[in-house]
Amino acid sequence: MSGDQLMRAHSSSLPGPTFDNPAWVTPRPLRQSRVAIVTSAALYASGDDPFGAADTSFRVIDRERRDLVMGHWSPNFDHVGVKLDLNVVYPIDRLEELAEDGVIGSVAPRHISFAGNQPDDVATIRYDSGPAAAELLRQDGVDVVILTPV
């Protein structure tokens, strides 16, 4: 099997947390919505704190920043694409274009980055850092989040 096939097979075998009675938000029209990116690529703005090996916290990325370091700990996937083009992981320029064209209402002032390699139960993210990130996005008036996994 190739690297990606192995990773997909391995990840498929991991236990995934399940959610009873999951919440469902009926969003406003996209053209009126403020959109934020939340990625699990462990990106962080140059000079900010790096991610630790099993880091359950998140970093805030201001809308203007493009000098982002790839801090993901897994050696098992491509780290090169993001250096060819940040947008292939963190589509910030695409969002700016969509806002300019009136497709989305606006781009959020702050975006969020977690590390994708997490303990299997993801308890800290579920009960602590995830809700904290949600609160930060709510303060910024975010209506829609696009999640990009790494």
Residues 50-109 that bind other proteins (CB under 8 A): 50, 53, 66-71, 73-85, 87-89, 91, 93-95, 97-98, 103-104
Tokens for 19? 């959610």
Nearer to other proteins, 59 or 137 (CB): 137
At closest approach, how far in Å is the CB of 32 from other proteins?
12
Exposure string (b/e) for 5-26, b if CB count within 10 Å is 16 or more? eeeeeeeeeeeeeeeeeeeeee
Strand partners, 65: none
Number of residues that bind other proteins (CB under 8 A): 81
Tokens for 61? 């990325």
At closest approach, how far in Å is the CB of 17 from other proteins?
6
Q: Which of residues 102-141 bind other proteins (CB under 8 A)?
A: 103-104, 114, 116, 122, 125-126, 130-131, 133-135, 137-138
Nearer to other proteins, 60 or 88 (CB): 88
Nearer to other proteins, 80 or 102 (CB): 80
Is residue 1 close enough to count as binding other proteins by CB under 8 A? yes
At closest approach, how far in Å is the CB of 117 from other proteins?
10
Residue 71 CB neighbour total at 10 angstroms: 19
Quote the CA–CA distance of 139 and 113 in Å, as a whole number. Answer: 17
Residue matched to tokens 């989040």: 145
Residue 36 CB neighbour total at 10 angstroms: 24
